[in-house]
Amino acid sequence: MNDLDRREFLRGSAGGLAGLALVPELDRLFPKLPAGAELRVGLVGTGARGKEILDELAKIDGVIVQAICDRDSGKLRSGGRRAKDAARHDNVEQMLEQEAGLQAVFVATSTDQHRAVAEAALAAGKHVWCEAPLAHTLDDARALAASGGAAGTVFAVGSEARSNPTYQRARAIFKSGGVRDLVSVRGGWFQKATWRAVAPSDERERLLNWRLDPARCAGLPGEVASHALDALLWFTGERPESVTGRGAILLHKDGREVADTVALDFALPDERRMGFEASLANSFEGEHLVLRGTHGTIKLASTHAWLFKESDAVTQGWEVYAHREQFFKDEGITLISNATQLADQGKLKEGMGLPNPPVYYTLHDFVAAVLEGGEPVCSGVDALAPTVLGILADQAIRSRQTVAVDPAQLSLEG
Partner 1 sequence: MATETHRLAFRAMRTDFEFVLCGADSRRLRVAAEEARAEIEATDRELSAFSLGSLLNKVNREAGERPVKVPGRLLELFVLCRRVYRDSGGAFDPSVAPLMEAWGFREDPERTPGAGTSSDAASVAEQRSAVGLDALELDPAAGTVRFRRPGLQLDLGGVGKGVALDRAAEALRDAGLGHFLLHGGSSTFLAFGAPPHQPAWRVGVRHPRDPERVLASVELRDRALSVSGQHGRTILADGARLGHVIDPARGAPAAGELAVVTASTAAAADAWSTALLAGAAAPVSWKACA
Binding site for partner 1 (CB under 8 A): 29-30, 48, 51-52, 54-55, 58-59, 61, 74, 77-78, 81-85, 193-194, 196-198, 200, 254, 347, 349-350, 354-357, 360
Least distance to partner 1, CB of residue 387, Å: 26
d(CA 329, CA 59): 37
Q: Decide whether 104 or 388 has the Cβ nearer to partner 1.
A: 104
Taking the least distance from each CB to partner 1, the nearer of 193 and 322 is 193
User: Which residues, at least 6 apart from 409, have a Cβ–Cβ distance to it below 8 Å?
Assistant: 138, 388, 392
Q: How far is the CB of 29 from partner 1 (least distance, A)?
A: 8
- The least distance separating partner 1 from the CB of residue 78, rounded to whole angstroms, comes to 6
d(CA 64, CA 42): 9
**Of 177 and 357, CB closest to partner 1:** 357
Closest CB to partner 1 among 74 and 177?
74
| 140 C-beta neighbours (distance < 10 Å), count | 21
- Residue-wise burial string across 380-396, b where 16 or more C-beta atoms lie within 10 A, e elsewhere: bbbbbbbbbbbbbbbbb
Residue 210 or 360 having the CB closest to partner 1: 360
Q: Are 9 and 343 in contact (CB under 8 A)?
A: no
Beta bridge partners of 287: 189
**Chain centroid, CA 298 distance in Å:** 18
* Contact (Cβ atoms closer than 8 angstroms) between residue 57 and residue 41: yes
CA–CA distance, 265 with 55 (Å, rounded to integer): 36
Residue 156 Cβ, how far from partner 1 at the closest point, in Å?
Answer: 21
* Rounded Cα gap, residues 264 and 208, in angstroms: 27
Strands 63-69 and 87-89: parallel
Q: Identify which of residues 58 and 343 has a Cβ nearer to partner 1 in the complex.
A: 58
How near is the Cβ of 200 to partner 1 at its closest, in Å?
6
Q: Classify residue 258 by its DSSP letter.
A: S
**Which residue, 147 or 191, has its beta carbon nearer to partner 1?**
191
Residues 78, 84, 90, 95, CA torsion sign = negative
Backbone angles phi, psi at 74, to 5 degrees: -65, -45
d(CA 309, CA 319) in angstroms, rounded, equals 11
Nearer to partner 1, 37 or 146 (CB): 37
Q: How far is the CB of 218 from partner 1 (least distance, A)?
A: 22
The residue (of 355 and 414) whose beta carbon lies closer to partner 1 is: 355
Q: How far is the CB of 219 from partner 1 (least distance, A)?
A: 19
Least gap, CB of 348 to partner 1 (angstroms): 11
DSSP labels, 167-225 = HHHHHHHHHTTSS-SEEEEEEEEE---------SSHHHHHHH-GGG-TTT--HHIIIII
Distance CA 397, CA 222 (A): 11
Minimum distance of partner 1 from residue 127's CB (angstroms):
21
For partner 1, the closer of residues 46 and 261 by Cβ is: 46
Taking the complex as a whole, the smallest distance from the CB of residue 72 to partner 1 amounts, in Å, to 11
